[in-house]
């Protein structure tokens, strides 16, 4: 098998060197001839831990570096595009360099192996593969699944640790509507699960990862500003102690249970404490737009779900879960209450509810028109539609047939 890698920057060079040192024949293609000559003698134009040594090993064995596109594409089975997508004037990603590389490939596709696999490894906005790249290749008179296969493979490399991240990935994501055996074969040399998802999902995952990091950094900065306005807060010490929380630090950490979509946060602590800090900071002279939006999103998410629930108003609707979180009977500020109230306001007349331990507490706390069921099999039998409102383990592996299910906790 032979791999061609287009673009030998931070991602491309790491990719080319990594595959070569896994025993695969690789041709690295770079248009910058000065960079090519530098790389050929084992010199890297940027710092990346361990990559210089790995490059020198690779060019002695399986890696060819070239500025000749014919040499790069000759007999290539798989082509990885690791090309920059700089920000355009309007803030959107500039995909023109990838389009140029695809056009160059199309012109020379006959020297590749039959039906080569073209893999976009660059960071591209969700929808790019299907809405931009496939139509572009079609205009070049190439037929999908006849002349080529197109997929994407987002990278999750940390600058400074890129080579180690590439050689020891925690997940490998392939965006394709079907399983591509050659990709499975390539990545079988790595100790990580290869996960096939739709192209849009793969593209989204990359942005999901990066924007999550952006949010955490901005959140930490926003909190440091609030600390300054409140006064007499040792910000550095506060964050050091935060990091001692076993949910955030160590192995296994459990922060993933918070970084997951659902119906928003409820319970006694998070809603009141988040609002209280927002008000305290505002009283001190600083309005945290970030915390304000956290609260706004938490309030709007139920409306988003309600808009997507479209059933007969006389249908039997079953609510699975009444506590604000699993493994608790706490129903204070539970999102299940808001869900039920909004369903009633929308005109649903027959609402049933079941929670493994919170039925009676919910019933005694809130006055809502709900019929309480004490058996999971019974509510499944009674209701045409089921809405999972709390992520109890009891609801994960239910055998339910011929029922509409709204999985609002994504379990």
**Where a domain ends, among 190, 206, 222?**
206
Distance in angstroms (rounded) separating the CA atoms of residues 330 and 378: 23
Q: What's residue 130's pLDDT?
A: 95
- Determine, yes or no, domain membership for 341: yes
The per-residue pLDDT for range 22-62, each reduced to its tens digit, is 999 999 999 999 999 999 999 998 888 899 999 999 999 99
> Confidence class of residue 243 from pLDDT cuts 50, 70 and 90?
confident
If you average pLDDT over residues 384-401, what whole number do you get? 92
- β-sheet bridge partners, residue 405: 386
Residues 16 and 99 in one domain: yes
- Determine, yes or no, domain membership for 252: no
What's the Cα-to-Cα distance from 164 to each of 14, 158, 352, rounded to whole Å?
9, 9, 53
Instruction: Please determine, for residue 7, whether its predicted confidence score (pLDDT) is greater than 80.
Output: yes
**Where a domain ends, among 186, 206, 226?**
206
Distance in angstroms (rounded) separating the CA atoms of residues 409 and 411: 5
> Confidence class of residue 71 from pLDDT cuts 50, 70 and 90?
very high
- Determine, yes or no, domain membership for 229: no
Asked whether 67 and 36 are in contact (CB, 8 A), the reply is: yes
Instruction: Please determine, for residue 177, whether its predicted confidence score (pLDDT) is greater than 90.
Output: yes
Residues 288 and 396 in one domain: yes
Residues 181 and 313 in one domain: no
- pTM score: 0.83
The per-residue pLDDT for range 113-132, each reduced to its tens digit, is 999 999 999 999 999 999 99
Residues 59 and 201 in one domain: yes
Cβ neighbours for 293, distance < 8 A, ≥ 6 positions apart: none
Instruction: Please determine, for residue 90, whether its predicted confidence score (pLDDT) is greater than 90.
Output: no
Q: What's residue 315's pLDDT?
A: 95
Strand order in the sheet with 25-29: 63-66, 25-29, 2-6, 78-81, 117-120, 149-152, 172-175, 194-197
Residues 149 and 23 in one domain: yes
> Confidence class of residue 215 from pLDDT cuts 50, 70 and 90?
confident
Mean pLDDT of the chain, nearest integer: 93
Q: Give residue 67's domain range.
A: 2-206
If you average pLDDT over residues 73-88, what whole number do you get? 94
Residues 49 and 194 in one domain: yes
Distance in angstroms (rounded) separating the CA atoms of residues 143 and 138: 6
Distance in angstroms (rounded) separating the CA atoms of residues 338 and 143: 51
Asked whether 292 and 331 are in contact (CB, 8 A), the reply is: no
Residues 297 and 395 in one domain: yes
CATH code of the domain covering residue 88 = 3.40.50.720
Of the listed ranges 9-13, 149-153, 188-192, 206-210, the least confidently predicted one is: 206-210
Distance in angstroms (rounded) separating the CA atoms of residues 56 and 63: 9
How many domains would you assign to the chain?
2
Residues 44 and 192 in one domain: yes
| Residue in 203, 235, 9, 188 with CA at minimum distance from that of residue 119 | 203
Instruction: Please determine, for residue 261, whether its predicted confidence score (pLDDT) is greater than 90.
Output: no
- Determine, yes or no, domain membership for 249: no
> Confidence class of residue 260 from pLDDT cuts 50, 70 and 90?
confident
Q: What's residue 249's pLDDT?
A: 79
Strand duo 194-197 + 172-175: pairing:
parallel
Q: Is 334 exposed, middle or buried (0-12, 13-18, 19+ CB in 10 A)?
A: buried
- What is the chain's length? 411
- Determine, yes or no, domain membership for 218: no
The per-residue pLDDT for range 303-361, each reduced to its tens digit, is 999 999 999 999 999 999 999 999 889 999 999 999 999 999 999 999 999 999 999 99
Q: What's residue 201's pLDDT?
A: 97
């Amino acid at each position: 098998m032979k791999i061609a890698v287009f673009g030998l920057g931070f991602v491309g060079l790491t990719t080319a060197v990594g595959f070569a040192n896994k025993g695969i024949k690789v041709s690295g293609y770079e248009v910058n001839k000065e960079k090519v000559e530098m790389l050929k003698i084992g010199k890297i134009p940027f710092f990346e831990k361990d990559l210089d040594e790995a490059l020198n090993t690779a060019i002695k064995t399986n890696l060819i570096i070239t500025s000749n596109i014919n040499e790069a594409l000759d007999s290539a089975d798989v082509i990885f595009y690791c090309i920059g997508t700089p920000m355009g004037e309007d803030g959107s990603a500039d995909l023109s360099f990838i389009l140029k590389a695809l056009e160059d490939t199309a012109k020379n596709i006959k020297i590749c192996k039959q039906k080569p696999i073209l893999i976009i490894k660059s960071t591209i906005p969700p929808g790019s593969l299907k809405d931009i790249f496939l139509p572009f290749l079609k205009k070049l008179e190439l037929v999908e699944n006849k002349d080529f296969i197109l997929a994407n493979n987002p990278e999750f490399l940390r600058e400074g640790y890129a080579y180690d991240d590439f050689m020891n990935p925690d997940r490998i994501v392939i965006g394709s509507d079907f399983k591509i055996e050659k990709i499975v074969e390539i990545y079988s040399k790595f100790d990580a699960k290869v996960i096939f998802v739709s192209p849009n999902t793969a593209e989204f995952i990359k942005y999901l990862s990066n924007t999550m990091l952006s949010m955490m950094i901005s959140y930490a900065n926003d909190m440091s500003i609030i600390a300054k306005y409140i006064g007499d807060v040792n910000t550095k010490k506060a964050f050091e102690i935060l990091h001692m929380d076993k949910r955030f630090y160590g192995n296994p950490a459990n922060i993933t249970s918070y970084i997951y979509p659902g119906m928003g946060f409820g319970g006694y602590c998070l809603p009141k404490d988040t609002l209280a800090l927002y008000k305290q900071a505002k009283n001190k002279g600083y309005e945290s737009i970030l915390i304000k939006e956290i609260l706004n999103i938490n309030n709007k998410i139920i409306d988003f779900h309600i808009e997507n629930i479209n059933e007969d108003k006389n249908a039997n609707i079953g609510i699975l879960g009444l506590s604000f979180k699993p493994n608790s009977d706490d129903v204070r500020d539970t999102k299940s209450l808001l869900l039920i109230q909004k369903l009633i306001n929308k005109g649903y007349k027959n609402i049933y509810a079941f929670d493994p331990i919170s039925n009676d507490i919910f019933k005694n706390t809130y006055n809502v028109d709900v019929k309480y069921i004490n058996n999971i099999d019974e509510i499944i039998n009674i209701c045409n539609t089921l809405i999972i409102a709390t992520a109890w383990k009891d609801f994960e592996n239910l055998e339910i047939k011929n029922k509409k299910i709204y999985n609002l906790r994504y379990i």
